[in-house]
Amino acid sequence: MPGTVLNLPEILLTDTFSGKKVPLATLVPGAVGIYCCGPTVYDLSHVGHARAALVPDVIVRFLRAQGYRVKYVRNITDIDDKIIARAQRDGIAAADVAERFAAEYHRDLDALGMLRPDVEPRVSEHLPEIVALVENLVAKGLAYVVGGDVYYRVAAFHLYGRLSGRNRAELLDGAGSRVEVDERKESPLDFALWKAAKPGEPAWDSPWGPGRPGWHIECSVMSSTHLGTSFDIHCGGRDLIFPHHENEIAQSQGAYGEHTFARYWVHNGFINFAGEKMSKSLGNVWTIRQVLDLYPAETLRYFLLTVHYRTGLNFEIEERATGVRFPGLEDADDRVAYVYETLAGARGELGVASGSDAAGGISPGEVTPGVADLAAAFAEAMRNDFNTPAALGVLSKPLAEVNGLIGSGKGVARDVRRRTLARFLADLRTVSAVLGCFGQAPATFLATRRDLKAARMGLDTARVERLVAERGAARAARDWAAADRLRDELAALGVAVKDGPAGSVWSL
RNA sequence: GGCGGCAUAGCCAAGAGGCUAAGGCGACGGUCUGCAAAACCGUUAUCCCCGGUUCGAGUCCGGGUGCCGCCUCCA
């Protein structure tokens, strides 16, 4: 809107390129373009992929909540050596492999409550643009043709290495020591823009003969096609800094000029198992699906948000005779349940129907201090480099206050109490819009959680119900000894019983 | 070998030089309870080591030590 004064609060983010935490100044005030390196679809996605998708997801959600107009682009790499290898192994077409695992990817991310990107381009839909960019680079002397292959001439791009903090001499030093060097390349640092097809491989026509794009060129093309040759934020895993993102910069800036391409680089840290990076070669990969068979999706989501996105996240595992256990997820699960219990309590107190929150009629006036600060403190934490662990910390005080009000509310005026609960419910909706947590009907989450937990524990729910009923009878007869014995029996099964005025309920 | 990152309480984890170092888990004490559980209240750290810059450093600089990542496909 021309002429409109935009008064958006300052947002800080850590930019890998400058290595600093800097204020976000977008190309177009009030608007943000984000590109995220998506998956190569040749297998089920693992927890690391979930994190890589979650980081931009939360950034996009938050920026929108702050009033930005966001265009979110995340690609799907559907042409790749690994896809071809899988297709050959399974004896099906590469395109079918890609199609299948792209669908699986969506299924997993949808389960985790991730927003679909506004545009989800695929390499296979951008061949003409890719060929054009490669031709452009060849014309500029930044690429050369060898047989049916085209390579980027790294020596011709003087800015090479800026993102990853390397220079060409250092790189040359290391190069070749670990990998065989293709003799036909002018330099070991040169990378493929276009690869000639071998017999039986999928191929597209090009001026250099049938072949397919190299890995890096696709992101240069898809980002500029959908966001322009300059855009705001580029996301991806830390491991992509070199060479993938370095090469993207070489391609894009080589073609469009030094001050083009991504203005901010946001890289997420890894997920580790027992202190080591999760990777297929180490055989310690957990797919999203494996985890979601054991824990609610929201629990995994919450767990991933308990650590700042740039930091490594330890995913501890305890292997037991009865099965695997993830202590970190266990804690997250309890915490999410605590939030939902509180939400349920606040709703019950206000007589809010389970379908609607109906907290619409919050009158202005006093609320308890923690709840009063909730929304502002949450936004402030998020503005500081999308600090989700700090933002989650902000919830503790209000949660405790609200539970206090639900418990007795002694000493708090009735109108303050109702207003506080209503405000809390309203603010939690804002929180859930940003984090993608705490947005379900409490009963739904709690039931899902209990079922999964019972399954994990191999619990016989019918037996539990029977014991609880027996104990209820004992309590009614004031036979405390029998009641306590039954409670111990339940406790041994991992079941906790709570006695309330309305009777006993059990939980895990 | 080169480059990058990290080191905060028993454990997990925030903290872009300055009020009493967030928060969670656990532990301990208390309120509530038939006793419990849940919930609530309270207690629980001087930031790996050495040196420097500064009126002032967990936060900046230099040097150690120890982890991790990247340099090959990789979120």
pLDDT digits (tens, 9 = 90+) for A92-140: 999 999 999 999 999 999 999 999 999 999 999 999 999 999 999 999 9
pLDDT of residue A2: 39
* A474, closest nucleotide (Cα–C1'): B34
pLDDT score recorded for residue A3: 37
pLDDT band at A355 (very low <50, low <70, confident <90, very high): very low
Q: Per DSSP, which regions of A197-256 are E strands?
A: 211-213, 230-237
**Residues A410-462: pLDDT tens digits?**
778 889 999 999 999 999 999 999 999 999 999 999 999 999 999 998 898 89
Per-residue pLDDT, A134: 97
Helix axes A297-305, A327-350, angle to 10 degrees: 110
Q: Which residue has the higher pLDDT, A338 or A409?
A: A338
CA–C1' distance A269–B74 (Å)?
Answer: 13
Q: Please report the pLDDT score of residue A6 as a whole number.
A: 59
Cβ A305 to strand B below 7 Å? no
CA of A419 to C1' of B19 (A): 31
Q: Which residue is nearest to nucleotide B5 (CA to C1')?
A: A311
Q: Which of A62-71, A249-258, A441-450, A454-463 has the lowest mean pLDDT?
A: A454-463
* Nucleotide minimizing C1' to CA distance for residue A311: B6
- Residue A105, CB, less than 7 Å from strand B? no
Q: Which of residues 186-205 of A touch strand B (CB under 7 A)?
A: none
Nucleic strand B near CB of residue A237 (< 7 Å): yes
Nearest alpha carbon to residue A36 among A67, A81, A76: A76
DSSP states of A79-132:
S-HHHHHHHHHHTS-HHHHHHHHHHHHHHHHHHTTPPPPSB--BGGG-HHHHHH
Greater pLDDT, A277 or A145:
A145
Report the mean per-residue pLDDT for chain A. 91
Distance of C1' in B22 from CA in A374, Å: 14
pLDDT computed for residue A318 by the predictor: 82
Predicted local distance difference test score (pLDDT) of residue A170: 80
How far CA A304 is from CA of A47, A117, A210, in Å, comes to 9, 20, 43
Query: Of A242, A244, A240, A284, whose CA–CA distance to A47 is shortest?
Result: A284
φ/ψ (deg, to 5) at A107:
-60, -45
- From the list A311, A265, A250, A297, the residue with the least C-alpha distance to A444 is A297
Q: What is the pLDDT of residue A409?
A: 67
Q: Return the closest nucleotide (C1') to the Cα of A36.
A: B75
pLDDT digits (tens, 9 = 90+) for A295-316: 999 999 999 999 999 999 998 8
Which nt is closest to the CA of A393, judged by C1'?
A: B23
* pLDDT attached to residue A181: 65
Mind listing the pLDDT tens digit for each residue in A21-33? 999 999 999 999 9
**Which nucleotide is closest to A14, CA to C1'?**
B16
Complex ipTM value: 0.96
User: Does residue A407 lie within 7 Å of nucleic acid chain B, judged by its CB?
Assistant: yes
A271-273 and A192-196 strand pairing: unpaired
- Residues 472-491 in A having a C-beta less than 7 A from any atom of strand B are 475, 480, 483-484, 487
For residue A243, cis peptide bond before it (omega within 30 degrees of 0): yes
Element (H, E) at A71: strand A69-74
Instruction: Choose from A173-182, A238-247, A320-329 the range with maximum mean pLDDT.
Output: A238-247
Residue A151 CA distance to nucleotide B26 C1' (Å): 57
Average pLDDT, integer, range A360-370 = 78
pLDDT of residue A353: 57
Residue-wise pLDDT tens digits, A128-149: 999 999 999 999 999 999 999 9
Q: Tell me which residues from 135 to 174 on chain A have a beta carbon below 7 angstroms from nucleic acid strand B.
A: 164-166, 170-171, 173-174
Q: Considering only residues 215-234 of protein chain A, which place a Cβ less than 7 A from any atom of strand B?
A: 215
Distance A481 CA to B35 C1' (A): 10
3-state secondary structure of A10: coil
Residue A161: which nucleotide is closest by CA–C1'?
Answer: B3
CB neighbour list of residue A15: distance below 8 Å, 6 or more residues apart:
A21, A22, A264, A265, A266
Q: List the nucleotides on chain B closer than 7 A to a protein CB.
A: 1-6, 12-16, 22-25, 33-41, 67-75
CA distance A482 to A487: 9
CA of A200 to C1' of B67 (A): 46
